[in-house]
């Protein structure tokens, strides 16, 4: 109970960004749940989102949505944001709003992780990761088409009442492939050793969205150092390189940074206790979301992969969150696996009901059974 009292004074205070008012600091990040049909979210997925808001979440970031371009994904169960799926996404936004929450849609492109052999796969330099060549390096014309696709999808999100979008620049997908020197070997001013060159295309794309959607539409940027194919990878080898990236995205129109880590409490660089979110908050000068194993007793990726049946909320995790908030390392907290396991995780934590939290189980990711 004492840890809940400690958490309340910071984690359960309101927060405002642009015209969006959040009742607390907890959000649900984008997590692909495999519940789309022909790219459109199912009614069950809309109910799943709504249930998390009813359980205490103030902001929902929708599934990773492939943008309106034929190269964005070949996965049959992946979400897409285009004219054919728009009404289904509108139902999701309405469900979240009706429950008292706000919603962002996450714009995503697989890049060279797309694999169906039709020649449409593209990326900065034809690499999914340094050991895997796939597809082809995007031409300038194709890059222009991608900008148009992202803008189209962002305007669609705005048209159905989403509070904003999140630009997916993380975990080894297209825009992250531009940011990572090992997958971006372009020599045309959009790649190479210089962070300013590698970040040029994501920044140009974000600026185009800002110009199309106006100043009140919230733009979040999710990025990571680690990749699903390489946990030790870094887009920024130094704080100076990180500052360059963040400054370019801020100047292009970002309102919010979402610093993805596997463990939110770990230092980002030696000789400093600051986390990646902490460095981002200080160097980027914008509100920042922390994420990574919140409420779990082991690493978020281990919770997905290992055979142990449950991961539980720990008091230590909540104490770390409160300390990070007090230190100004982040403003908002994304809770993933723990919310899959228990839709009432936020409200139970606020009430100090730790023993009542349903632990996350690896099997939970196979269905939406725990939406109720």
Q: Delimit the domains of the chain by residue range.
A: 2-371
Which has the higher per-residue pLDDT, 118 or 192? Answer: 192
What does the pLDDT average to over 212-231? 94
- What is the arithmetic mean of pLDDT over 252-269? 95
CB-count burial class (<10 Å; 0-12, 13-18, 19+) for 355: exposed
Fold of 2-371: TIM Barrel (3.20.20)
Tell me if the pTM is above 0.85.
Answer: yes
pLDDT at 32 over 80: no
Cβ contacts of residue 192 below 8 Å, gap of 6+? 181, 184, 185, 186, 198
Residue (of 210, 225, 296) closest to 256 by Cα position = 210
Mean of per-residue pLDDT scores for the chain: 90
% the chain with pLDDT above 90: 73
Q: What is the structure's pLDDT at 18?
A: 95
Residue with tokens 């052999």, as numbered in its chain: 117
Q: 220 phi and psi, to 5 degrees? A: -105, 145
Predicted local confidence at residue 206, as pLDDT? 98
| Burial environment of residue 240 by CB neighbours within 10 A (0 to 12, 13 to 18, 19 or more) | exposed
């Amino acid at each position: 109970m004492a840890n809940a009292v400690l958490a309340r004074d910071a984690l359960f205070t309101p927060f405002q960004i642009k015209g969006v008012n959040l009742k607390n600091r907890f959000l649900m990040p984008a997590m692909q749940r495999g519940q789309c049909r022909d790219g459109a979210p199912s009614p069950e997925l809309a109910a799943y989102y709504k249930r998390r808001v009813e359980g205490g979440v103030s902001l929902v970031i929708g599934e990773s949505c492939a943008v309106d371009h034929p190269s964005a994904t070949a996965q049959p169960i992946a979400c897409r944001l285009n004219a054919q799926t728009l009404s289904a996404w509108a139902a999701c936004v309405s469900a979240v709003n009706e429950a008292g929450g706000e919603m962002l849609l996450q714009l995503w492109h697989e890049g060279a992780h797309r694999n169906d052999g039709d020649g449409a796969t593209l990326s900065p330099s034809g690499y999914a990761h340094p050991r895997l060549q796939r597809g082809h390096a995007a031409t300038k014309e194709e890059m222009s088409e991608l900008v148009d696709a992202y803008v189209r999808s962002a305007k669609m999100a705005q048209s159905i009442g989403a509070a904003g979008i999140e630009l997916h620049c993380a975990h080894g997908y297209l825009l992250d492939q531009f940011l990572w020197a090992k997958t971006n070997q372009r020599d045309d001013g959009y790649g190479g050793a210089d962070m300013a060159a590698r970040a040029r295309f994501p920044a140009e794309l974000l600026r185009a969205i800002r110009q199309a959607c106006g100043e009140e539409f919230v733009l979040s940027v999710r990025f990571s150092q680690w990749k699903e194919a390489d946990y030790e990878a870094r887009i920024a080898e130094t704080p100076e390189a990180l500052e360059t990236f963040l400054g370019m995205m801020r100047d292009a129109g970002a309102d919010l940074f979402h610093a993805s880590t596997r463990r939110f409490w770990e230092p980002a660089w030696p000789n400093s206790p600051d986390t990646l979110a902490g460095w981002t908050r200080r160097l980027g000068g914008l509100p920042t979301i922390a994420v990574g194993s919140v409420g779990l007793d082991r690493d978020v990726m281990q919770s997905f992969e290992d055979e142990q049946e449950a991961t539980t909320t720990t008091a230590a995790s909540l104490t770390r969150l409160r300390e990070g908030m007090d230190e100004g390392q982040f403003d908002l907290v994304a809770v993933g696996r723990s919310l899959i396991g228990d839709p009432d995780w936020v409200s139970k934590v606020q009430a100090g009901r730790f023993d009542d939290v349903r632990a996350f189980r690896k099997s939970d990711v196979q269905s939406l059974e725990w939406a109720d």
